[in-house]
Structure 1
Amino acid sequence: MYGAELLLKKNLKASIAAKQQMLASDKQMKLFACAANAVVECYKQGGRLYIAGNGGSAADAQHLATEFVSKLARDRAALPAEALTVDSSVLTAIGNDYGFDNLFSRQIEGKMRSGDIFLGISTSGQSPNILKGLETCKSLGITSIVFCGNDGGQAKDLADYCIIAPGSTTGTIQEIHIVLAHTLCGCVESVIFGESK
């Protein structure tokens, strides 16, 4: 048990340090505010949010889509959001016919329209299927956001808004991605439906 206590303390300290680093970055705060505003405007104009990631980030994509469609913290009308990671028939067909790298780009081509927003989640900023999705958004004129880590990888040059979470491990980066996701949904809820009472 002693080893578990030490590891928990180490992980909590790393998480706190990464969050403090994020908090101190004016650049990332401003980028996030611009991205949140873009999502608000998307919803005001009748657009939809599509989210994608791999592994734990796929789970985060589904988690965030749920917060928009159901609710984050209060009762309100549903907001249209979809994780591009949940339809096993679509995923296996695209993977089989076009390759795993095209998993999201093919769905973006088929589902998204001008005025929608794509949010990619990649701790490395280097996931080939996220990069291909961002390239497709660029070619179609669709606004894109990416939550990533490290130095942003290739994603930072492809996304309209690249929010880079600090942290030296995937777990710490993913923890900040969840804070970003909940804050994004909270911003949209407060603007579209008014401040909660």
Structure 2
Amino acid sequence: MKIDEDIRLYLTEKRAIIDAFPVQDVQAAAEMLFRTYDEGGIVYAMGNGGNAGTLDHAYCDFKHHPFVSEDKSQPLSTTVKRLTFVNLCGSAAELSGLVNDLGPDSMYSASIQPFATERDLVMAYSGSGNSPNVVRALEAAAKAGARTFAMTKGDGGRCRELADVCLVVPGTSRFPGQTGRNDNNFHFEDAMLSVNHMLVGLLKQRVSQEV
């Protein structure tokens, strides 16, 4: 296959995913986010590999973007309630310490179990839906009564069973690098950033209505 045909294949698959995207799950995630914000709860987010990098981007967006003026020239008044967003992937020191002491499967649950409450939202990202550290964290969140959102692909794995809302990115792929066990993973990671942007934009709209 020629390079231009591969590129068109990727874009064709992307359009099919967009057309079939589970909008109702994004809406449900937004509603949980709004409740967490209204109740003064905390958003905890986690993922592995490239997903952890995307969550660093999300941390910046969620913490700041909804709380600046429309022209980005100044922050909103300090009287406007902020959202507390905790990126569980954000500290190499913390993660390496938890892995060293408790093992990789408990690296996220150990950060959630002592702190999460029913006011909070735990967001989990796993391409397979079966990453042990993400699964254990969702189990810990459920025990704490926290709201849970997961995003995955394929059959959704264990995340689909555990999360209050599980967004499963639809489709399969023939594009190089995301076939076999890695099926649809590039599209999943693209969609993860898009969902985060949708949620941030919707939260900004919600905040602006209260200013």
TM (norm. structure 1) is 0.88
Q: How does 1:89-168 map to 2 (within 5 A)?
A: 89-168=93-172
Shift of 1:108: 0.6
User: Which of the residues 88, 95, 120 maps onto 1:84?
Assistant: 88
Q: For residues 43-97 of structure 1, what are the alpha-carbon distances to aligned partners after superposition, in whole Å with 9 as ceiling and x for unaligned?
A: 0111121110001111122221111112169445453212101111211111011
- Within the candidate set 36, 41, 49, 1:42 is matched to 36
Q: Partner letter of residue 160 of structure 1?
A: D
Contact 1:104 1:132 in 2 (8 A): yes
Secondary structure in 1 matching 2:148: strand
CA distance in 1, matches of 2:155, 2:61: 28
Q: Distance in 1 between the 2:3 and 2:103 partners? A: 41
Give ranges in structure 2 of 5+ residues lacking alignment.
Answer: 77-81, 173-183
Q: Runs in 1 of length 4+ with deviation above 6 angstroms? A: none
Greater CA radius of gyration, 1 or 2?
2
Distance 2:107 2:5 in 1: 40
Shift of 1:3: 4.0
Q: TM-score, normalised by structure 2?
A: 0.83
Counterpart in the other structure of 2:186: 171
Cα deviations across residues 79-128 of structure 1 (Å, max 9, x unaligned)? 32121011112111110111101111001124433311110011111111
Fraction of identical pairs, as percent: 25
Partners of 1:167 and 1:173 within 8 A in 2: no
| Candidates 199, 206, 210, aligned match of 1:184 | 199
Distance 1:144 1:174 in 2: 19
